[in-house]
Amino acid sequence: MNYESPTQVIPAFTSVPRHVAIVMDGNGRWAKNRFMPRVAGHKRGVEAVRETVKTCGELGIEYLTLFAFSSENWRRPAEEVSVLMQLFLVALDNEVAKLHANGIRFKVIGDLTRFDARLRDKIAASEALTESNTALTLTVAANYGGRWDILQAMNKAQKECVSANREVSEFTEDLLTPYLSMAYAPEPDLFIRTGGEQRLSNFLIWQLAYTEFYFTPELWPDFGRSSLIRAVDSYGKRERRFGRTSDQLAASLGISSDCTSDAA
């Protein structure tokens, strides 16, 4: 199923976000603060993922997308990259059966061609096992970049049009959106970044056009149930206008508004 963008339609607002996207930042600093190797922070980060998935289920969040490894993370020391790949394999071995038992669908987005065959096969098997689950869709972005996503979508769209002998005079959202990595999910309602940094880092740059942002200084291994609840509570207090004024929003909800705004 393909979802329309908030730039084209006005989505219904609920106090609990339907889709949460998270940049899990701070594993290395968490370990360094404790005079531990960086890998210890990454291992502890897996526990934070487990807790976050559980809490999303409790809150009724339908989609959770986690930025695990960016296309720029290959610049890190080779030893750390190797450890991260091994942790990914171990996590798949240890967690996917549990996800399946709890009705959770598992997806991976990104350019998987740089991963070894064993990891690619494990990802494919995990996705196949859980593809019919509906309780929650957990997406892991691995070797993912927002610009890569847009470019691969354009290339796929162009190739399909050529194979169908259909000429494309210009690209439109309707043409491009079905080829984006996350065409199967609504665009994120809430973006969370831990670790104190306040940037996107090339994550879902197309999909976050109208997403609410939440930045926290908490390092990812310290991000737990109460942390996610605080972020969701903050989201629930936001006024999501999607280009309208506050008065227009209030009228659409059938309530009066004493304050107006012309900001998008």
User: How many Å separate Cα 91 from the centre of its chain?
Assistant: 18
- Let me know if 155 is a catalytic residue: no
Whether the Cβ atoms of residue 54 and residue 96 lie closer than 8 Å to each other: no
Whether the Cβ atoms of residue 28 and residue 40 lie closer than 8 Å to each other: no
The residue annotated as part of the active site, out of 2, 25, 111, 155, is 25
The residue annotated as part of the active site, out of 2, 73, 111, 233, is 73
Q: How far apart are CA 49 and CA 224, in angstroms?
A: 9
- Let me know if 25 is a catalytic residue: yes
Whether the Cβ atoms of residue 22 and residue 49 lie closer than 8 Å to each other: no
Whether the Cβ atoms of residue 144 and residue 67 lie closer than 8 Å to each other: yes
Taking the C-alpha atoms of 214, 96, 126 and 44 in order, what is their torsion angle to the nearest 10 degrees?
50
> Which amino acids are annotated catalytic?
25, 73
